[in-house]
Amino acid sequence: GQNIDQPTEMTATEGAIVQINCTYQTSGFNGLFWYQQHAGEAPTFLSYNVLDGLEEKGRFSSFLSRSKGYSYLLLKELQMKDSASYLCAVRDQIGAGGYNKLIFGAGTRLAVHP
Amino acid sequence: SAVISQKPSRDICQRGTSLTIQCQVDSQVTMMFWYRQQPGQSLTLIATANQGSEATYESGFVIDKFPISRPNLTFSTLTVSNMSPEDSSIYLCSGGGLAEYNEQFFGPGTRLTVL
């Protein structure tokens, strides 16, 4: 079956660092995505990992270990505007016609406090 | 990156009626997808809109309830048919490229309330 797990909620302090973990078990794997979603808005693409290792993009970094079925999103120098839901999604390879669909985790609600 | 727009942004509909949601991408994309997001929950894939052929539906979703069109590489529609209050949700259109492309973008969503 398809399973993507991430913590439901996290809190952190402005200026701090927070790590959001994601573990997955899927039939296929063709990349892992992280999205940010503010309440009432569409998800915004943050990062994509398909090879093992760390991808850094400004204050945000994402790590992948395919052998462990594990990823994390690291947010540094937290700002109040980083309060949002963070969605982990795996691109699967199964499906009619061989299309690559995204399977989403339930999301992690991050609250950043002063 | 692709910019995706949706119409309408929100609607309030009566039980038993149907609503068609339009999705427009500002560039050609290989794949277009329709998702549903219930309040406080994550995204569930409804179907993949295939250009020139029938949409491919996920388990639990059927064509009679959610007919989809995709006449070209930049446009798609999703119809929510014979609506009930359980269909109240946010419907999101998404577009992306081939497997080697590393981004998939989302439209702003259509917030549907069924009375």
Provide DSSP, B21-45: EEEEESS--SEEEEEEE-TTS-EEE
Instruction: Name the amino acid, one letter, at A80.
Output: M
Q: What is the DSSP letter of B112?
A: E
* Dihedral sign, Cα of residue B25, residue B37, residue A69, residue A97: negative
For chain B, list residues with pLDDT below 70: 1, 97-102
Is a pLDDT exceeding 60 seen at residue A11? yes
> Pick from B42, B45, B106: which is nearest to A42 by CB?
B106
CB-CB under 8 Å, B99 with A97: no
Q: How many CB atoms lie within 10 A of CB A85?
A: 21
CB-CB under 8 Å, A31 with B102: yes
How many angstroms from the chain centroid is the CA of residue A12?
Answer: 17
**Does residue A69 belong to the interface with chain B, where contact is any CB pair within 8 Å?**
no
Using DSSP, state whether A81 is helix, strand or coil. helix
- State how far the Cα of B115 lies from the Cα of B96, in Å rounded to an integer: 33
Is a pLDDT exceeding 70 seen at residue A94? no
Radius of gyration of chain A (CA): 14
- State how far the Cα of A16 lies from the Cα of B17, in Å rounded to an integer: 50
Reading the block at residue A3, the tokens are: 């399973």
Is a pLDDT exceeding 50 seen at residue A35? yes
**Does residue B103 belong to the interface with chain A, where contact is any CB pair within 8 Å?**
yes
**pLDDT given for residue B99 in this prediction:** 46
Of the two residues A12 and A96, the one the predictor is more confident about is A12
**pLDDT given for residue B100 in this prediction:** 44
Average pLDDT, chain B: 89
Distance to chain A for B103, nearest Cα, Å = 7
- State how far the Cα of A42 lies from the Cα of A58, in Å rounded to an integer: 22
Average pLDDT, chain A: 91
Residue position matching structure tokens 């219930």: B38
**pLDDT given for residue A98 in this prediction:** 53
Nearest chain B alpha carbon to A29:
B99
Distance to chain A for B77, nearest Cα, Å = 18
Of the two residues A94 and B100, the one the predictor is more confident about is A94
